[in-house]
Structure 1
């Protein structure tokens, strides 16, 4: 009986493998849903829409974006985790849901590792540090001096984990007392900066840079260690606060249990989409870095990012009570 049971298990595994390969050959045969855990106008949403559009061209299928913002991406992550593991729901997200939240919150409605299968990295990008035009500072050093002169009176806004992480780490490393104000999405936080209701934001370039370039806000620095080609007018935070660096990333996942052949097919399709003119234009105009790779490479990268963000959250005291 044991021998027969083992043979049956082997036969079943073989049948599933053949079925997975066959389904991957036909994939996709119906519309694909892409869940973005942040709202329209965010960097995540912008990347998701470009990838979705290119996937539609490559497959001949409709690819629909569903924005599910809120709770630092947890609402979208939960929806994606609960979807059928068949490749027809793709979760395009960031380090906020996959590497930060587990350190900030005591419990989550999803597991960043166990709920998802990695598919492919998409973009890497630094942040622009923005202040409201009314604030009498033009440099990081001047902001720090003002914050030390008026402790607890200045405020920073954030609409995602990396934005909050950048500001909190800056607060700790610069030894200043600045009040944090959370928002549902980054565009909302930027809207309040432009309206003069908060003082400073660490923002992805997609959401924040246009307001700086057209004069609605003042850019005082970037969060990369080296100046960014094309944006040399903005010095690095590191030049004033040695050792400071902050990067954000986007990547694609599917619900755990999605057959490996379909994961590999999606990986190939997304990497092809990343060769498109629209994707390359996106990375050029938002000063992003293309970040393709295998599912295994994304899994390893996520693990290293999770460790890094655990240290940042602890140092910055970002844990929720």
Structure 2
């Protein structure tokens, strides 16, 4: 009798998991973004969230928690219930760079999360304040070498800082780094003349370049970007082999049931095929990279190994 009861319970459990996934979501979903409103990650999260909400009929709430290079948001997402109702849309800042920069973190980039789906890959634009007498990467390098340690670059996330630090190494220049809570704050200070240089995503960086409030010098991709052909790459501007890409992915707290993760993966991949998302990636010069949870886990592992080398070479490690 006990054996039959156990087998019946096991069978019911096997049925319950897919049924729960089919019913998911049955209430509002929260997406934690570790950067401020108006950032590239925030824009992606809002676009994906709007589509998921439309498909499921449930509200999707964007919860911005900027600060500490994404650590505040990462900790909040990691400590949430593993039920699929809290998601974490983030970048290599929290998932691949921070573990090499900081001796301790309030979360584990691998153990604290379940990968759900990749979202986007995107290059950066190198921009300077209009008053800086540099109209090309070659002129920027010459100016930095003439005044070592005096030109400043701002960064509101690890991707932005990493792009500048990699440039410092490969161009053999000495620049002063200035950290910000969020990338839009760094952009604001560049426009106000308080810092000299920013390596920025296109969502926050391109508008002030296009309207003349800042000067764009180059892009960080290996080849020139369609639609931005007037901007050379850094490597063709005198820094051979330079290349920098930022990426965005979606995670859930560790322990989230696999049927729910699969349901989320399907919803997100559907969102990435929507006109709104494709238009966003086109206008922000990004590339969607959908895939399975395993694809994102493997990609994150490769990125973590790459960033370990960059952080060590650049001396980015914090005490």
Does residue 243 in structure 1 map to residue 241 in structure 2? yes
Q: Give structure 1 stretches of 5+ with no counterpart.
A: none
- 104 and 226 in structure 1: CA distance in 2 versus 1, 3 angstrom threshold: same
- 12 and 167 in structure 1: CA distance in 2 versus 1, 3 angstrom threshold: farther
- 144 and 10 in structure 1: CA distance in 2 versus 1, 3 angstrom threshold: farther
Q: TM-score, normalised by structure 1?
A: 0.96
Q: TM-score, normalised by structure 2?
A: 0.96
- 94 and 7 in structure 1: CA distance in 2 versus 1, 3 angstrom threshold: farther
Q: Give structure 2 stretches of 5+ with no counterpart.
A: none
Alignment counterpart, residue 56 of structure 1, candidates 44, 50, 53? 53
SS at match of 2:166: helix
Alignment counterpart, residue 287 of structure 1, candidates 267, 285, 288? 285
Alignment of 1:36-185 (within 5 A): 36-185=33-182
Aligned to 1:187: 184
**TM-aligned CA deviation for residue 18 of structure 1:** 3.1
- 318 and 17 in structure 1: CA distance in 2 versus 1, 3 angstrom threshold: farther
- 142 and 13 in structure 1: CA distance in 2 versus 1, 3 angstrom threshold: farther
Cα RMSD for the two superposed structures:
1.8
Separation in 2, partners of 1:38, 1:9? 47
- 6 and 71 in structure 1: CA distance in 2 versus 1, 3 angstrom threshold: farther
The aligned length equals 318
Aligned to 1:315: 313
- 151 and 47 in structure 1: CA distance in 2 versus 1, 3 angstrom threshold: same
- 7 and 300 in structure 1: CA distance in 2 versus 1, 3 angstrom threshold: farther
Runs of 4 or more above 6 Å deviation: 5-13
- 134 and 6 in structure 1: CA distance in 2 versus 1, 3 angstrom threshold: farther
- 10 and 111 in structure 1: CA distance in 2 versus 1, 3 angstrom threshold: farther
- 211 and 15 in structure 1: CA distance in 2 versus 1, 3 angstrom threshold: same
Alignment of 1:211-230 (within 5 A): 211-230=208-227
SS at match of 1:225: coil
Aligned to 2:272: 274
Q: Deviations over 1:230-283 (max 9, x none)?
A: 101110011110011100011110001110000000000111111111101101
Q: Deviations over 1:122-148 (max 9, x none)?
A: 110000000000000100010000011
Separation in 2, partners of 1:6, 1:160? 56
- 88 and 261 in structure 1: CA distance in 2 versus 1, 3 angstrom threshold: same
